[in-house]
Amino acid sequence: MKLNQKAKGFFALGLLLASGPLLWALGYELGETKEQLKLKYTMEVYDCGTGRSTITFTLADAGRIAPLTSVDWHIPGQDKTGYSDLSLKLAPHEAEGKKIYTVHGLNEWIGRGEIHLKSSTMDGKRGNREWFYHRVKVAGYLKKKDKPSPAP
């Protein structure tokens, strides 16, 4: 009886290991520019003056990587290992045919953060087990708020 239970366990383990490659998908960062991918988006960062900022990311056209599977807010790890400190899928609201995504957080997080446009399609062709992402770094959009002048 014990041998039969062990055999079932090894069989289940073998099935799990054999199906592993079918379950894994590889994600690749796209090296193309916004223009090369024919992406149409804008990003505005508003410094609230409280040590926090709000990002408004407006996507008009996903270009060559349409349809998108998700738009994610990503904060890379400070230890430079490739792991994330935070990664969240963003929910859009629509206005005038555009998708608008909003993030609010500490300036340190906003300054390190990135928007990832994820897709499993490139030029209308769906990948087998891979997906792609285009990275939009927020740091270039973050502007320092001017300090108020001292009172006379």
Higher-confidence residue: 142 or 124? 124
pLDDT at 10: 58
Domains of the chain: 25-141 (2.60.40)
The percentage of the chain sitting over the pLDDT mark of 90, rounded to a whole number, equals: 63
pLDDT at 80: 79
pLDDT category at 127 given cuts 50, 70, 90 is confident
pLDDT category at 94 given cuts 50, 70, 90 is very high
Lowest mean pLDDT among 33-47, 92-106, 117-131: 117-131
Residues 6+ apart with CB under 8 A from 71: 57, 59, 89, 90, 92, 99, 101, 115, 116, 117, 118
The percentage of the chain sitting over the pLDDT mark of 70, rounded to a whole number, equals: 77
Q: Distance from first CA to last CA of the chain, Å, rounded?
A: 91
pLDDT at 63 over 70: yes
